[in-house]
Amino acid sequence: MIQIYSTTFCPYCLAAKNLLKERQLEFSEINIESINMSREELERKTGGRTVPQIVIDGKVIGGYEDLLALDNQGKLPTG
């Protein structure tokens, strides 16, 4: 299960979602603006204040660069 905490106009969020779509991986998106989640709440939940924050199988992996690194290492789940 993949979750992405995002905001509406975040280019790195879009890049992360596009990468997952290219790899045919399903994910759920939590738009922190839509649910009025503060950056402090995001940090308490994921350990990070910036978006995207990506969680794979309950483990926070970080942001887009971290997702890209996992992809380059062949460590993303298969779709």
Residue 79 has pLDDT above 70, yes or no: no
> Which domains does the chain carry?
2-72 (3.40.30.10)
Q: What is the pLDDT of residues 2-35, one digit of tens each?
A: 999 999 999 999 999 999 999 999 999 999 999 9
Contacts 24+ apart (CB under 8 A), 26-29: 26/2, 26/79, 27/2, 27/3, 28/1, 28/2, 28/3, 28/4, 29/3, 29/4
pTM over 0.85? The answer is: yes
Dist. CA 43–CA 33, nearest whole Å: 14
Q: What is the pLDDT of residues 55-66, one digit of tens each?
A: 999 999 999 999
